[in-house]
């Protein structure tokens, strides 16, 4: 029932509303997710999100970078295309990078593209500019390097800069000439185009694979990619791959000065080129050809996912140049999603790593645009209600040229008698804990996502929770990273936080010792047990932060524990706020006490109550208290010169880390903020401080150095 949540980092908070710290965390999480999806798509040929969902992650990432340019490091994804090559193939550095194309989905965007090109070139109304217009082949791009008329190297796109060497495999593709003898063939040229598999060949291959009990491919693109990236060229040779040439990279000379004429030369030289290529001089002409190709699409015998427009004259292409990852002189006009009708047999609830419950439609298998679809995302509870999707319904499913299909609507005429409106479960299918939707106190609106509250007991969330539990600002157990936690969980050695503290004793009595397991040795195991022993006493706010209660980060953990002092008091306080029989507490004294704490609002209070209301969370906390001894929080020095002040640290600090600085300031009773505003009392600026420092000066906020900070606080 469990599955990773591939869109997990995608948050709903507006980018404008993010603090710098939130933005940085989200930026990093998005980068991880995008890299993961890139790897699945480019390396494994097995994507788990749709193009649209991927684009949403990417757009959010770019928006965050646009607002916080400081986050844009050297390895920013906005500077890269695709995924770095896998290790198993040799690497090929592309002399000229292989880029991607900007997308358009509407006629208006095509008109805007033509207008933009004209504007950029500063053309007069009477000046004509020609474009080529050709199908966008749904395969994988490949760069073929010819030297002295011979195919020398063939490479995949990879990350656009470095691809994989697939020369031996490409040599098995009959349509690709190994030698070209034409007099005007350049001494050196990278011929670029798309390796693809025809629909009939794909069907036959899948039939053979199924017969042999081998992997069947989801679509021709994946089959082509999987076939080209075989380590054994004999396997590639047995797969019916084809090729269309449509572009070039490095070239010692070119046979013509227009896109169209160069591709015509490709054909003369023996490369397959697409017969549906035309030239047009305005948006109307391009769109008319797009419609024609769209009509012929089903009869082509191979998958295409749109039409590509390119400025024809090469001198104009050069003037237009590139914007980040795509040429300004080209556009991919994508086809709309394809649809089919089928029956929804079941709604399965999947639980993501952060406890989000995601409904997935289990469908009678149906072919949509050449791919067999048997499940579709239903997004969330509200979507199901809005579309009134019921088990047994006949539904229209849609696939936008990619992988996760969607249910578009219900054909209510076909609804079976007695079909009941769907009731979204209020308990987690993975662990049975109650699952809740948070209410935004400002808007009064419920979050669209229902979440499992059993973070510390839910197998779907456990590894993530344990990782948080041992992380630096929580229990800070050295030697326990994500990999180690995941392995300990998988081996059944640590299934709950308290297990960490009983690990050494259990290990001593065990037949299969940790030190003999993969990835461990005597020293690492001994060090780990020592690190764990050393953390049996942690301050109570760290303890509470480590529990991973939703919305209880370090600051809120401190606020709560300054008030309640002990974990037991916090638990009892939270439980006294529960209104029997009510899903959302409110109104009684316990609630008033909790929300009376400075900085603790309804959202946090509710999360705390939800957490302790779950009996198994109480058990986990009790087990943990049997193993560790939370220490009182360091007391705030009331007399400190910064007590009650709002402080911002910016720039590089030399004598302490950011975390230390923050902890120190808070210990001294100051509030630490991430950004400068009129409410800021003091800015501590180190070398390299930028916009925050400027803003502080603009607002007349007092600015001091790190040295002065130490002088001031003693
Ligand atoms: S031109 C610099 N033409 O689409 C521009 N690309 O989304 C080079 N593709 O990576 C690309 N058919 O794999 C071009 N007729 C066509 C294409 C085409 C398919 C692919 C290609 C590219 C991707 C970008």
Distance 101 CA to ligand 1 centre (A): 6
For residue 276, what are the contacts with CB-CB under 8 A and spacing of at least 6?
134, 135, 293, 296
Distance 330 CA to ligand 1 centre (A): 9
Q: Clarify whether 671 is annotated catalytic.
A: no
Q: Which of 182, 312, 194, 321 is nearest to 253 (CA)?
A: 182
Give the residue ranges of DSSP H helices in 471-553.
Answer: 482-490, 497-508, 522-533, 540-546
State which of 136, 318, 327 you would mutate to test the pocket of ligand 1, scoring each by most atoms of that ligand within 8 A of its C-beta: 136
Output the residue whose Cα is nearest ligand 1's atom 6: 136
- Average pLDDT of 367-395? 89
Whole-angstrom Cα distance, residue 40 to residue 526?
A: 37
β-strands 242-251, 682-685 pairing: unpaired
Distance 525 CA to ligand 1 centre (A): 51
Whole-angstrom Cα distance, residue 377 to residue 407?
A: 7
β-strands 131-137, 103-104 pairing: unpaired
- The structure's pTM equals 0.50
Per-residue model confidence (pLDDT) at position 549: 92
Per-residue model confidence (pLDDT) at position 258: 98
Report the percentage of the chain scoring pLDDT > 70: 92
Output the residue whose Cα is nearest ligand 1's atom 9: 136
- Fill in the DSSP letter of residue 39: I
Output the residue whose Cα is nearest ligand 1's atom 16: 136
Q: Is 348 helix (H, G, I), strand (E, B) or coil?
A: strand
Pocket around ligand 1: residues whose beta carbon is below 6 Å from it?
Answer: 99-101, 134, 136-137, 141, 194, 246-247, 308, 327, 330, 332
Q: Which of 192, 203, 183 is nearest to 243 (CA)?
A: 192
If residue 696 lies in a helix (H) or strand (E), which one and from where to where?
Answer: helix 691-699
Whole-angstrom Cα distance, residue 316 to residue 117?
A: 9
Output the residue whose Cα is nearest ligand 1's atom 13: 141
As given in the structure block, the two tokens for residue 674 are 């991430």
State which of 225, 332, 402 you would mutate to test the pocket of ligand 1, scoring each by most atoms of that ligand within 8 A of its C-beta: 332
Q: Across the chain, what does the average pLDDT equal?
A: 88
Per-residue model confidence (pLDDT) at position 85: 47
Per-residue model confidence (pLDDT) at position 637: 55
- Average pLDDT of 402-418? 85
For residue 85, what are the contacts with CB-CB under 8 A and spacing of at least 6?
43, 91, 156, 158, 159, 162, 163, 164
Whole-angstrom Cα distance, residue 194 to residue 134?
A: 13
State which of 45, 194, 279 you would mutate to test the pocket of ligand 1, scoring each by most atoms of that ligand within 8 A of its C-beta: 194
Q: Which residue has the higher pLDDT, 422 or 675?
A: 422
Whole-angstrom Cα distance, residue 51 to residue 161?
A: 22
- Segment among 73-82, 174-183, 416-425, 594-603 with least mean pLDDT: 73-82
Q: Is 105 helix (H, G, I), strand (E, B) or coil?
A: coil
- Fill in the DSSP letter of residue 539: B
pLDDT tens digits for range 180-218: 999 999 999 999 999 999 999 998 998 888 888 777 787
- Fill in the DSSP letter of residue 9: T
Distance 57 CA to ligand 1 centre (A): 22
Per-residue model confidence (pLDDT) at position 2: 33
Distance 100 CA to ligand 1 centre (A): 7
Q: Is 481 helix (H, G, I), strand (E, B) or coil?
A: coil
The closest-lying atom of ligand 1 relative to the alpha carbon of residue 138 is 19
Q: Which residue has the higher pLDDT, 537 or 661?
A: 537
Q: What is the pLDDT confidence band of residue 87, given thresholds at 50, 70 and 90?
A: low
Per-residue model confidence (pLDDT) at position 80: 61
Per-residue model confidence (pLDDT) at position 464: 87
Per-residue model confidence (pLDDT) at position 631: 95
Distance 308 CA to ligand 1 centre (A): 7
If residue 624 lies in a helix (H) or strand (E), which one and from where to where?
Answer: helix 615-625
- Average pLDDT of 290-304? 92
Output the residue whose Cα is nearest ligand 1's atom 17: 136
Output the residue whose Cα is nearest ligand 1's atom 21: 141
Report the percentage of the chain scoring pLDDT > 90: 58
Residue 446: strand pairing partners = 439
pLDDT tens digits for range 483-512: 899 999 999 999 999 999 999 999 999 888
Per-residue model confidence (pLDDT) at position 11: 66
Give the residue ranges of DSSP H helices in 3-106.
Answer: 20-38, 51-67
Q: Which residue has the higher pLDDT, 379 or 521?
A: 521
Distance 616 CA to ligand 1 centre (A): 54
Output the residue whose Cα is nearest ligand 1's atom 12: 136
- Fill in the DSSP letter of residue 231: S
- Segment among 447-451, 479-483, 636-640 with least mean pLDDT: 636-640
End-to-end CA separation in angstroms for the chain: 56
- Segment among 238-252, 405-419, 439-453, 485-499 with least mean pLDDT: 439-453
As given in the structure block, the two tokens for residue 19 are 């603090």
Q: What is the pLDDT confidence band of residue 545, given thresholds at 50, 70 and 90?
A: very high
Output the residue whose Cα is nearest ligand 1's atom 10: 100
Go through the domains of the chain in sequence order and give each one's CATH number: 15-80+337-414 (2.40.50.140), 91-334 (3.30.470.30), 455-533 (1.10.150.20), 540-625 (1.10.150.20), 646-713 (3.40.50.10190)
Catalytic residue among 8, 88, 124, 136: 136
Output the residue whose Cα is nearest ligand 1's atom 1: 247
Whole-angstrom Cα distance, residue 351 to residue 2?
A: 5
Q: What is the pLDDT confidence band of residue 667, given thresholds at 50, 70 and 90?
A: confident
For 590-623, give the DSSP string.
HHHHHHHSTT--HHHHHHHHHHHHSHHHHHHHHH
- Fill in the DSSP letter of residue 274: -
Res. 404: pLDDT tops 60: yes
Res. 275: pLDDT tops 90: yes
Q: Is 144 helix (H, G, I), strand (E, B) or coil?
A: strand
Residue 150: strand pairing partners = 147, 179
For 648-690, give the DSSP string.
EEES--SSS-HHHHHHHHHHTT-EEESS--TT--EEEE-TT--
- Average pLDDT of 83-97? 78
Distance 9 CA to ligand 1 centre (A): 29
Distance 260 CA to ligand 1 centre (A): 15
As given in the structure block, the two tokens for residue 246 are 């449509």
Per-residue model confidence (pLDDT) at position 424: 96
- Average pLDDT of 661-690? 86
pLDDT tens digits for range 45-59: 666 666 666 767 887
Q: b vs e for 594-616, b when ≥16 Cβ sit within 10 Å of the residue's Cβ? A: bbebeebebbbbbbbbbbbbbeb
Q: Which of 417, 404, 475, 462 is nearest to 616 (CA)?
A: 462
Q: In this structure, what are the phi and psi dihedrals at residue 295, rounded to the nearest 5 degrees? A: -65, -35
Res. 3: pLDDT tops 50: no
Q: Which residue has the higher pLDDT, 423 or 40?
A: 423
Q: What is the pLDDT confidence band of residue 26, given thresholds at 50, 70 and 90?
A: confident
Distance 230 CA to ligand 1 centre (A): 23
Cβ contact 624:580 at 8 Å: no
Cβ contact 263:136 at 8 Å: no
Q: Which residue has the higher pLDDT, 561 or 86?
A: 561
Q: What is the pLDDT confidence band of residue 455, given thresholds at 50, 70 and 90?
A: confident
Res. 412: pLDDT tops 90: yes
pLDDT tens digits for range 314-342: 999 999 998 878 999 999 999 887 788 99
β-strands 150-156, 103-104 pairing: unpaired
Output the residue whose Cα is nearest ligand 1's atom 15: 136
Whole-angstrom Cα distance, residue 568 to residue 541?
A: 13
């Amino acid at each position: 029932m469990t599955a990773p949540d591939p869109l997990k980092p995608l948050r709903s908070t507006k980018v404008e509303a993010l603090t710098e710290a939130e933005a940085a965390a989200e930026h990093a999480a998005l980068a991880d997710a995008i890299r993961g999806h890139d790897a699945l798509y480019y390396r494994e040929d097995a994507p788990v999100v749709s193009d649209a969902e991927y684009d949403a992650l990417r757009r959010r990432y770019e928006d965050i970078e646009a607002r916080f340019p400081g986050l844009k490091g050297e390895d920013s994804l906005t500077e890269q295309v695709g995924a770095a090559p896998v290790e198993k193939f040799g690497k090929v550095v592309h002399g000229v990078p292989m880029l991607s194309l900007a997308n358009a989905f509407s006629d208006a965007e095509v008109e805007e593209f033509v207008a933009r090109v004209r504007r950029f070139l500063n053309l007069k109304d009477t000046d004509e500019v020609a474009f080529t217009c050709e199908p966008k082949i749904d395969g994988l791009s490949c760069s073929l390097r010819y030297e002295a008329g011979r195919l020398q190297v063939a490479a995949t796109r990879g990350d656009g800069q470095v691809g994989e060497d697939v020369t031996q495999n490409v040599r098995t593709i009959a349509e690709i000439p190994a030698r070209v003898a034409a007099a005007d063939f350049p001494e050196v040229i990278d011929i670029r185009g798309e390796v693809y598999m025809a629909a009939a060949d794909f069907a036959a291959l899948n039939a053979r694979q199924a017969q042999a009990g081998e992997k069947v491919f989801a679509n021709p693109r994946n089959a082509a990619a999987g076939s080209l990236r075989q380590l054994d060229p004999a396997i590639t040779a047995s797969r019916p791959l084809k090729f269309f040439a449509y572009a070039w990279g490095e070239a010692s000379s070119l046979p013509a000065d227009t896109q169209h004429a160069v591709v015509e030369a490709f054909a003369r030289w023996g490369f397959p080129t697409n017969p549906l290529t035309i030239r047009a001089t305005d948006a109307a002409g391009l769109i008319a050809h797009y419609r024609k190709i769209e009509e012929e699409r089903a009869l082509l015998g191979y998958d295409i996912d749109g039409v590509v427009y390119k400025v024809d004259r090469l001198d104009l292409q050069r003037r237009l140049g590139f914007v980040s990852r795509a040429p300004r002189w080209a556009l991919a006009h994508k086809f709309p999603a394809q649809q089919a009708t089928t029956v929804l047999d079941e709604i399965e609830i999947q639980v993501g790593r952060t406890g989000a419950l995601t409904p997935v439609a289990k469908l009678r298998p149906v072919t949509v645009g050449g791919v067999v679809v048997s499940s579709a995302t239903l997004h969330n509870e509200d979507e199901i209600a809005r579309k009134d999707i019921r088990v047994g319904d006949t539904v229209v499913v849609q696939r936008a040229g990619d992988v996760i299909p969607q249910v578009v609507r219900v054909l209510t005429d076909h609804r079976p008698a007695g079909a009941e409106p769907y009731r979204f479960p209020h308990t987690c299918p993975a662990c049975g804990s109650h699952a809740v939707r948070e209410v935004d106190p400002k808007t009064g609106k419920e979050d669209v996502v229902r979440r499992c509250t059993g973070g510390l007991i839910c197998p779907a969330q456990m590894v993530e929770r344990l990782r948080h539990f041992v992380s630096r600002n929580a229990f800070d157990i050295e030697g326990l990273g994500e990999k180690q936690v995941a392995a300990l969980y998988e081996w059944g050695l640590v299934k709950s936080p308290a297990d960490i503290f009983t690990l050494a004793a259990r290990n001593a009595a065990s037949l299969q010792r940790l030190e003999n397991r993969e990835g461990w040795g005597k020293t690492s195991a001994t060090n780990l047990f020592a690190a764990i022993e050393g953390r049996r006493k942690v301050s109570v706010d760290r303890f509470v932060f480590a529990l991973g209660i939703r919305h209880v980060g370090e600051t809120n953990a401190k606020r709560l524990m300054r008030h309640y002092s002990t974990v037991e008091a916090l638990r009892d306080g939270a439980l006294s706020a529960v209104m029997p029989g009510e899903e959302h507490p409110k109104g009684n004294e316990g609630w008033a006490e909790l929300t009376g704490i400075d900085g603790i609002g309804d959202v946090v209070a509710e999360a705390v109550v939800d957490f302790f209301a779950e009996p198994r969370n109480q058990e986990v906390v009790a087990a943990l208290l049997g193993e560790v001894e939370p220490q009182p929080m360091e007391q705030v020095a009331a007399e400190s010169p910064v007590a009650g002040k709002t402080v911002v640290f910016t720039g590089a600090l030399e004598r302490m880390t950011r975390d230390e600085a923050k902890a120190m300031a808070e210990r001294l009773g100051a509030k630490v903020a991430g950004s400068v505003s009129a409410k800021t009392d003091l800015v501590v600026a180190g070398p390299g401080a930028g916009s925050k420092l400027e803003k502080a000066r603009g607002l007349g906020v007092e600015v001091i150095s790190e040295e002065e900070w130490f002088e001031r606080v003693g």
